[in-house]
Structures are given as C-alpha cells and as structure tokens.
Structure 1
C-alpha cells in the first residue's frame, strides 16, 4: 500500500530525481539547508516507505513542492509545548469555575467586538495581551458547557482564537499565528461548520504565504475552496484571493488572474450571511489585493493606479491597512523608478508602522529597500534606510 507521499509523487508523474530537484528549489526559497544529494535520496526513500517520519523542515518542504497541507500528506500537526505552557491560567483552583450563560457570552462577544474595532487603529501590540486574557475564561466555559449553549461557547472560542492568530501575524510571529489559527480550526471541527472551517483555512493560507511558503499556501487555499459552491460569497471570495496571492508569489500570472476575476465576480454578485466572518470583502478590497499581486508579479503600473485611487477614499478607522497600502504603493513606485513617489509614500507608511507596531507594514518596507538600492546614496533614501534599520532592531 502506497504512503501518501508516494501517492503524491505518483500523481505528478515525477521520478525521485525530479522530486529531489523540486525539494532543492523549495529549500533555497525557504532558507532550509539540505544534505548531499546522496543523503537526500536516502532520506526521501525512508520517508516515502514510512520507515522514518519527516521532521519540521522536511514537512514544510513536502507541503511546498506538492502544494498540499500537512494533513493531506499524512503528517501530524505539532504544537510547541512551550507556547502552550506560556498561556495564562486562572489564578487559583479554589475559585469556582464559571458556568456558561447568555450573560457571560454576551460579555465575551461585546469585548471581542470592541477589540476588533480598535485593532485597525492601534495595531496588535497592545491588543494581544488583552485578547489572550479572555482565553482562560473561554476554556473553563468549554469544560462544562453542554446543551444549546455549548455551540455558542465553542463559536466564541473559535472567533477569539482566529483573531489572536491574526494579531500575531501582524506582529510578524508566524509560528504563534499558525498555532492560534489551528486552534480556531479545532473549534470549527467540533461545530462541524464548513463555512467557519473554510474561512480559517484561508487564514492559514495567508499566514503561510506571508511566511514565504507559497506552495503550502495554495494547498490551504484549495482546502478552503473544497466545497466552494456551498460557501457564502464573501468567504468564497477571500479564499480565492488567498489562492491568487499564492499563485502570484510563485510567478503564476494566468492562474492568479483567473482566481482574482472569479473573486471579483462573486463579490460583485452581492453579500450574503457569513456570520460576520468576511464583511470586509468588497470589490474594492479584491482590487487592492490584486494590486499587491501585480507588485509580486513585477507589473507595477496597474498597482499604482489602483492604490492611488484607494488612498483617496480610505476610511480613517482603517489606519493600519492604510499604512500597508502606502508601503505597497512605495514598492510599486520604486519598480517604476519613481524615487520621489516611493520616498513620499514610504515616509507616511513608516509613521503608521511606528504607531501601530505592524510587522506586515515593516516587511513591505523591507521589500521596498531592495528596489531602492540604486539610489541608496541619496540623502532622503539613506535617511529612510536608517529609520527602517532602527525599527527592525527595536
């Protein structure tokens, strides 16, 4: 009986040598060091025959080359015990455990809404401790909840976990982001909620893509879209956006364009009830993400047009996302060799990055720096590089 790794290679018609070529290419992209070709061949044979389990690096490489999830390849998702040990606990076992009630659930939902509204303005740094402090209460409620209230408790747990995943992603901590998002998927599995599961899968795809694992990200986006026709329009559209972004990272322009066109068409057909998961998804949002894909594909002209238009209508409460838009616009200007435009947009993005502590803005500005290398001796660019260097070191 074939292992899942053997079946994946057979499905692509690859020889073992072709697989090793793909693994070496992926290792270079992900910064993973591989052994000699002969040793790699031995390792691959042992993994495929089930005689040895791949470690974390090899799991990441197989997910990348096969564009699949760990579950699809037969791997076990591992959670770092040290991270779980660091979670806050209730202060004393002598305190009676709370009992789920409509009042407690109302409190948790209200707090969640306030944090979600504050997040675009203040960024993740101050919200992570506040949001995570609610987790012990939710876990205690989950221990005892039964009957009609249990689903409500579990759903609240899913929303808090997914939100924590997003906050950690915006701080640049991909490992913690995936840990919390995986926990949200566990809650969604208990609820047997395909819509929530699909939304969480596309969130995992976003995290993987930003961590540079584009092949793995496509696999996760495909998992989100496994039952696409049963999904609300906006959830389906954000999953297609995740797929498009992964294709762009891999330089697959035609596949990227198809996914974006489908996402626009679905979004344009109108919103439906998605439980409040993807209310932010609009045609304008898809266009913004398309602009980012254009930058990834080195097609800056279209990106500049879209980003400039968006900034004239940007909501004041979406300050963090405005900073990301400005950073992307700066990169697009730099690709067009418009140094003045790049500097002006980057300077505004720096201010927002410093205010919100968004690592995603800083990462985009880091991408910009490589495009500005030919002009690094200009006074303005040298000062910009100095400021960015100090931010990365803080």
Structure 2
C-alpha cells in the first residue's frame, strides 16, 4: 500500500511546531533503539526520517526550516554512526558529510565540529593513530564549540595517542578531557556523543591504559565504569565489556575474561556491531594462548561461532 502527501500538506505540516517536537522525540527513541538493536533494524527508519525531515524543511517557513535542518543533521549523524556499526565506513563518512552540510544550513556549527570527532572514530578503528590525533585536534581548535564537544575531541585524541604508544600525549589529552567535561555547559537540542557512559573521560582512560600495555590498571578503571552502564545499553555494555574482558585476559586473569565474555555474547549478537567485533576478534586471539585452559576450551567454540555469524 502506498500513499502520497500533497505539496500543500507538506507545507502545512512543516509550519507546525508540534511536527518539530515530535521528530525530536522520535530521534531520542531511535537513539535509544540504536543502543539495543542491530544497525539493520535501525538504519531503515533513520534513512526514512532523515529524508522526511529534508522534505519538510524544503517547504517550511524560515524559522522552522532552520530548526528542521538542524534536527535533520542530527538524524544524519546518527545514521552515519549506525552505518559504521554495520561495517560500512564509506557510507558512514558519506552520512557524516551530509550531516555537516545540513548542520551548516541549519546554523548548527557545533555538529560541524563534532563531525571531526566522528571521523576520528573511523580512523581509530582503522588503527590510523596520526589521522585520529589530527582530526581530534582540529575539532579542539574551534574556540566557539561547547565544552562537551571539545571534551569528546580530547578523549578521542587520547585514544589516538594510546594507539601510537605515546604515554605522555595520551595522559595530557585525558587531563584536558576531564577538565573540559567538568565545566561543560548545558546546550539546547539532542546531546552530542554518548548518552549512556556516565564518565566518558574515565571510561576512555581505561581503554587507553589497555592500549598502553597496562591491563591491570585498565581493569581497575573499566570495572567501575562498565558497572555503571545502564542495563538497557546493550551496545555500550558489549563494547566496553569486551574491552574489560580483553584487559582481564591481557593481565592473565583468564577465568574472569571468559566469564565476562560469556555473559556478553548475547548482547554482542543482538547489537551486531562491526566495531565491537574488532575487540571480539582480539579477545579470541588473546585467549587462544590459553587454549588448554578449561574455561577457554569451553568458551572458544562460542567465540568463533559469534565471529562467523552474520550478526557480527
């Protein structure tokens, strides 16, 4: 069954503030869904709603048009993240560029700056430390960006330094991130970046400690932060939980690593994340060193099956 909306109907809808409010509420619902479902479930709705908002904006009066375009940019940015989670980096970058164009039209320079942080996430998972650091630093050079965006950029820079094995650069960026998060201000519109991690700087510190070869310290930091994640935030729990399992394994705590990984596998399968799969592969390779260990022997077939599954 199909139907069309007349040009007059589109214009009338676009002129109504309740339409903007409802699309904003829908955005928050879709972002919540993105934490609990596969990208293949979320992406069709995101693409459809982004297209609908662009059509509405084209028929809206100036004040509402700018508001619709700014919101549409947030939809496009979330779509880009879900595209990356599906394993399609090129699509992710395309959607991020679209988000920048829409944000520019919608007078939202903060999202334009934040897009650099998102691009740095793509390069981070490509293990390109230099690009990750460069993009993150470019974002921090925006003197008008809100504290939260600058803090997220500093956290991403720290991850880039950790990937490069630069202890000093990493800790300096983490200190800057903590300071910026401590004095961030409230902003109108949907929150940029994660909404499920309570202390981004400390969670990032745990990630970095693992990359810098300090797994025992990483465990101390990550355990507290992972425990604080909402039970419904399956994507975050899978991502950070696997990083914690990796730290346990690297610290020689094989039983703890296996027990945690076993609890996480259902969430890993549900969220079907290409980026989470990166750490799942690393964990599988790490645990292979203890292939005769009973816990590893029992868990290993499930790990390899998860890696073969289309879900990851």
Q: CA deviation at 1:168?
A: 1.7
Which residue of 234, 257, 274 maps to 2:148? 234
Q: Distance in 2 between matches of 1:118 and 1:252?
A: 36
Between 1 and 2, higher relative CO (CA 8 Å, sep ≥ 6) is seen in: 2
- Answer yes or no: is the 8 Å Cα contact 1:124–1:168 preserved in 2: yes
Is 2:46 the counterpart of 1:131? Answer: yes
Indicate how the Cα distance of structure 1 residues 282 and 268 shifts in structure 2: closer, same or farther if over 3 A, else same: farther
Q: List runs of 5+ in structure 1 lacking aligned partners.
A: 1-90
Q: Distance in 1 between matches of 2:182 and 2:99?
A: 29
- Answer yes or no: is the 8 Å Cα contact 1:237–1:281 preserved in 2: no
Q: CA deviation at 1:366?
A: 0.9
Q: Which residue of 1 aligns with 2:136?
A: 221
Pairing of 1:1-394 with structure 2 (within 5 A): 95-97=5-7, 98-99=10-11, 100-101=14-15, 102-227=17-142, 229-273=143-187, 275-278=189-192, 280=195, 284-394=199-309
- Answer yes or no: is the 8 Å Cα contact 2:85–2:275 preserved in 1: yes
Deviations 1:294-327 (A, max 9, x none): 1111111221001112233332232321122220
Indicate how the Cα distance of structure 1 residues 184 and 300 shifts in structure 2: closer, same or farther if over 3 A, else same: same
Q: CA deviation at 1:390?
A: 2.1
Indicate how the Cα distance of structure 1 residues 284 and 370 shifts in structure 2: closer, same or farther if over 3 A, else same: same
Q: Distance in 2 between matches of 1:240 and 1:333?
A: 26
Number of aligned residues: 302
Q: CA deviation at 1:379?
A: 4.3
TM-score by length of 2: 0.88
Q: Distance in 2 between matches of 1:197 and 1:314?
A: 28
State which drifts further: 157-166 or 308-317. Answer: 308-317
- Answer yes or no: is the 8 Å Cα contact 1:236–1:263 preserved in 2: yes
Q: CA deviation at 1:384?
A: 3.0
Q: Distance in 2 between matches of 1:282 and 1:234?
A: 13
Q: List runs of 5+ in structure 2 lacking aligned partners.
A: none
Q: Which residue of 2 aligns with 1:14?
A: none
Q: CA deviation at 1:237?
A: 0.4
Q: Distance in 2 between matches of 1:136 and 1:189?
A: 17
Deviations 1:139-164 (A, max 9, x none): 32243345212211211210110011
Q: Name the Cα RMSD after superposition.
A: 2.2
Q: CA deviation at 1:344?
A: 1.1
Deviations 1:17-39 (A, max 9, x none): xxxxxxxxxxxxxxxxxxxxxxx
